[in-house]
Structure 1
Amino acid sequence: MERNSFWSYAVLGIAIGLGTCIAGMSLSHALFEIRAAERSVSVRGLAEREVEADLAIWPLGFEIATNDLADLQRQIEAKRETIREFLAAAGFDASEISLSSPRIRDTQAEYYGREGGPKFRYVAQATVTLRSDKVQLVKTAMEKAGDLVGKGVVLTGENYGRATEFLFTALNDVKPAMIEEATKNARAAAEKFALDSGSKVGKIRYATQGLFSISDRDANSPERKNVRVVTTVEYYLKD
């Protein structure tokens, strides 16, 4: 009886051992299959385009100094009107021209209690802003801005933060094609990697669209813009 029990336990132990071994082999094979399926490569695709700005914002700033407030107001209005006439003659509509409140300083108050001081008590900084989609016309008008000097208006250039802006606002029109181009370039890079490693490119595992950036082509041509986007794509690799 004891002999039979011994052989029963022995057979059971062998069976359990074989089962564990087979299960381990199966699990190992399954893990290998999972790892093999997860082989991937992450690449980046770049797309760039050169475009023309479609909006120009030109602030025409000027400064006035006088000792009389009434004279200050009169000069502000006169110079504003001169600038408006200049822009109208250049081909711009009244709706494209806007005025901002002048910034007026009382230099006497600033120097109160101190000796000396500036010659003029009141100093005003005013701006007439042109906002137009006629970008090339704006460029032409800017080249002729010196004509205003002969009419008594001296522009303050880019002082006081009045820098001319050239903007590209039609980004949504070029986004789809640029994303497609960047994705194609990413796949081409993945295929090159796969070829070198003896693999093939499979489906996309993960993808992110980078931010679009818009920058001036160069310092001398702010109306020409470079649009750039980089996408990151991870592809499965297969044998």
Structure 2
Amino acid sequence: MKSHILTVAAIIIGAAMLSYALFSSVKYFKSYDRVVSVKGLAEVEVTANRVIWPLSFKEIGNDLASLYSSINAKNKIIKDYLVASGLEESEISVSAPQIIDMSAERYQSQPATYRYNITSVLTVTSEKVDIVRGLISSQSDLLQKGIALSTGDYQYVTQFLYTKLNDIKPAMIEEATRNARASAEKFAKDSDSKLGKIKSASQGQFSISDRDANSPHVKVVRVVSTVEYLLRD
């Protein structure tokens, strides 16, 4: 009987000790499972280092041969003007003319005044962004030479590009991480905690956008990093 009582007592004491150990381990685990998730933003303005500028004009008429001659002559005038303004011939490409035969249009309600509507497109692809911007602003020079460039055509939109992202990536990631840590430190201070090590981190996608509608050559590069820090009491 006495032996049985001792056995039961030992079981009770052992269970109590096990419960205490489990409780302590849970508290210990939870204290190390406290985290704060923060985001850090890095943003920088850059200037486009490449431009793609399509120049298009139209010719209409009934004699296809004379239209081709006129287009070739005007293409040469445009190329000579661009080269004289500081661009290289290798930066200028000429696309095949786009021809619309108005007499073949199915939905033409009335006979067209002219049979052919031809569009010619020259494309400048250059890293001389400042020169091209100046040329875009002085298109009236070509008008004086008898060439009216088409404007407002969604197919031929000037593109300003920034292609040196890899040059600024490391510094931007460092800044985003630093800003994330500053936010985490403030949170830890406000909650009477201490900031621990990084539990996890993820880098968001870099984005490049125009600063505003009137300055498409000025870009804003952004990246957001998400970092989880452990918290200590």
Please state which band the TM-score falls in when normalised by the shorter chain. Answer: over 0.9
Q: 1:229 corresponds to which letter in structure 2?
A: V
Q: CA deviation at 1:158?
A: 3.3
Amino acid in structure 2 at the alignment position of 1:49: V
AA aligned to 2:185 is E
What CA deviation, in whole Å up to 9, does each residue of 1:143-174 have, x standing for no partner? 11111112121111131411111111000100
Supply the distance in 1 between the matched residues of 2:106 and 2:32 (Cα, whole angstroms).
Answer: 78
Q: Which runs of 5+ in 2 are unaligned?
A: none
How is 1:20-99 mapped onto 2 (pairs within 5 angstroms)?
20-99=15-94
TM-score, normalisation: structure 2: 0.96
| 1:227 and 2:221 aligned | yes
SS at match of 1:151: coil
- Matched-pair identity in %: 49
Which digits, 9 at most, give the CA deviation of each residue in 1:90-138, with x for residues without a partner?
10000100111221111101148x6523211111112100011011111
Give the drift of 1:37: 0.6
Give 3-state SS (helix, strand or coil) of 1:154's partner. Answer: coil
TM (norm. structure 1) is 0.94
Please report how far the alpha carbon of residue 7 of structure 1 lies from its aligned counterpart in structure 2 after TM superposition: 2.2
Q: Deviations over 1:17-63 (max 9, x none)?
A: 21111111101111111110111100010111111110011100111
Mapped contact 1:104–1:124 kept (Cα < 8 A):
yes
Task: State how 1:106-121 maps to structure 2 within 5 Å.
Answer: 106-111=101-106, 116-121=110-115
Structure 1 residues 161-198: Cα deviation after superposition (integer angstroms, max 9, x where no partner): 11111111000100000000010000000000000011
* Counterpart in the other structure of 2:183: 189
Quick check: 1:111–1:117 contact (8 Å CA) kept in 2?
Answer: no
For 1:15 and 1:115, the matched residues in 2 are separated by 104
Query: Counterparts of 1:115 and 1:56 in 2: how far apart (Å)?
Result: 41
**What count of residue pairs does the alignment treat as equivalent?**
233
CA RMSD of aligned residues (A): 1.3
Q: Which amino acid aligns with 1:228?
A: R
Bigger Rg over Cα? 1
Q: Secondary structure at the match of 1:59?
A: strand
Which runs of structure 1 show a deviation greater than 3 angstroms over 4 or more consecutive aligned residues?
none
Residue 14, structure 1, aligned to residue 37, structure 2: no
- Whether contact under 8 Å (1:206, 1:233) holds in the other structure is yes
